[in-house]
């Protein structure tokens, strides 16, 4: 049995293990952190409407993610600077995904890189790119990802400018991923729908567009043949004062209407959060912060334990909702409600009692 019986204990271990700079990089957001807090507040503003007297002796949480079988509707989101959280970095995350049975994304701004992860793992995985060069530069990377067996390719599109993450600025902390990829930002800023069209005209590998926040852009994704609409506000780490991502889901799900897969991230830290996202139209939920906390707590084993605990929590929620399969979830199981606690960076974990951070 793992030493971690709850996600709270994983968070505490990560706080103990990580440097103050790495901790704030992982848990912080942009500017006033309003968007980060809205992610949590939006989740806490939905209450469950359970049904009873249904047979839930056998609950199936498995699903299809990106065309492959997945033990849970969870993806390990692309994260930069994983090597600052654990010496194994992205390899520890990929190995945890492989052992547990879920899809993982590899960010272009973390280590080890695209070739090392492909050489050491055999599970289904996605490569995510921050653009730092022209179309020839992009083509080289896409072709490499295809040759190495990555099943989908992800373009992140909500980082035209690097945000002001004031926790990092105050502590003069520079994430390792940013230090390695600090040139060529003009190419990211120049991304447009013509590039998406060029991508779809050039390659057969399914394309994920990450950073969609409105029905209008979701419609453009579908119009351009994008296979996966990835709803995200970058965990509240880019544009501040945006909506919580679960509040974006209904309009996007209505617009997409089954014509593309929908992935969402943004503050999803508990099993109940993931069930709420599925009820609102997501096909899968990508976890970032809680993934990083697991990595900081105990490397590969910590990430694996995060997945186990989320599975336990989801199973409990589904059973108490009176459901035995994910495809039975709908908005009928949710209604608006007043949050009972003020949103916080870690308000999903009310029993932490961590020392306050000094700035």
Please state, in angstroms and rounded to a whole number, the distance separating the CA atoms of residues 271 and 283.
15
Beta bridge partners of 325: 60
Catalytic: which of 123, 234, 241, 304? 234
Q: Which runs of consecutive H residues, i.e. helices, occur in the chain?
A: 7-17, 20-27, 34-44, 89-100, 114-120, 135-147, 166-170, 176-180, 185-189, 193-202, 215-223, 245-256, 271-279, 289-321
Residue 6, helix vs strand vs coil: coil
The yes-or-no answer on residue 234 being catalytic is yes
Buried b (16+ CB within 10 A) or exposed e, 207-244: bbbbbbbebebbbbbeebebbbbbbbbbbbbbbbebeb
Pairing of strands 228-231, 207-212: parallel
Please state, in angstroms and rounded to a whole number, the distance separating the CA atoms of residues 207 and 152.
6
* Omega before residue 112 within 30° of 0, cis: yes
Task: Output the furthest CA–CA distance in the chain (Å, rounded).
Answer: 59
Q: Are 161 and 178 in contact (CB under 8 A)?
A: no
Please state, in angstroms and rounded to a whole number, the distance separating the CA atoms of residues 304 and 312.
13
Task: Give the helix, strand, coil percentages of the chain, each rounded to 5.
Answer: 45, 15, 40
Please state, in angstroms and rounded to a whole number, the distance separating the CA atoms of residues 252 and 263.
11
The kind and range of the H/E element at 152 are: strand 152-156
Residue 193, exposed/middle/buried by CB under 10 A (0-12, 13-18, 19+)?
middle
The two structure tokens encoding residue 120: 């050491």
Mind telling me the catalytic residues?
A: 234
């Amino acid at each position: 049995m793992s030493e971690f019986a709850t996600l709270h204990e994983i968070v505490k271990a990560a706080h103990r293990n990580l440097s103050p700079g790495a901790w704030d990089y992982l848990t912080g957001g942009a500017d006033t952190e309003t968007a980060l807090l809205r992610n949590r507040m939006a989740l806490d503003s939905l209450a469950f409407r359970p049904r009873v007297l249904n047979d839930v002796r056998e609950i199936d949480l498995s699903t299809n993610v990106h065309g492959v079988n997945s033990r849970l509707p969870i993806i390990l989101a692309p994260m930069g600077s994983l090597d600052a959280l654990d010496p194994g970095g992205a390899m520890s995350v990929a190995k945890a995904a492989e052992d547990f049975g879920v899809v993982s994304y590899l960010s272009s701004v973390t280590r080890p890189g695209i070739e090392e992860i492909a050489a050491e793992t055999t599970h289904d995985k996605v490569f995510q790119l921050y653009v730092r060069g022209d179309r020839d530069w992009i083509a080289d990377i896409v072709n490499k990802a295809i040759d190495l067996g990555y099943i989908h390719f992800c373009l992140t599109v909500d980082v035209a400018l690097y945000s002001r993450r004031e926790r990092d600025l105050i502590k003069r902390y520079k994430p390792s991923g940013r230090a390695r990829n600090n040139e060529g930002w003009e190419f990211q800023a120049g991304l447009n729908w013509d590039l998406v069209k060029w991508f779809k005209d050039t390659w057969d590998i399914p394309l994920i567009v990450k950073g969609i926040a409105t029905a209008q852009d979701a419609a453009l994704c579908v119009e351009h043949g994008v296979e996966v609409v990835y709803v995200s506000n970058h965990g509240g780490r880019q544009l501040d004062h945006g909506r919580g991502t679960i509040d974006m889901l209904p309009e996007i799900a209505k617009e997409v209407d089954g014509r593309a897969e929908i992935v969402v991230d943004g503050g999803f830290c508990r099993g109940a959060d993931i069930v709420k996202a599925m009820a609102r139209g997501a096909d899968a939920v990508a976890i970032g912060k809680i993934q990083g906390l697991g990595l900081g707590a105990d490397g590969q084993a910590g990430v694996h334990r995060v997945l186990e605990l989320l599975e336990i929590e989801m199973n409990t929620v589904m059973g108490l909702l009176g459901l035995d399969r994910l495809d039975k979830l709908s908005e009928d199981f949710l209604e608006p409600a007043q949050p009972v606690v003020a949103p916080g960076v870690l308000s999903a974990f009310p029993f932490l009692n961590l020392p306050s951070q000094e700035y």
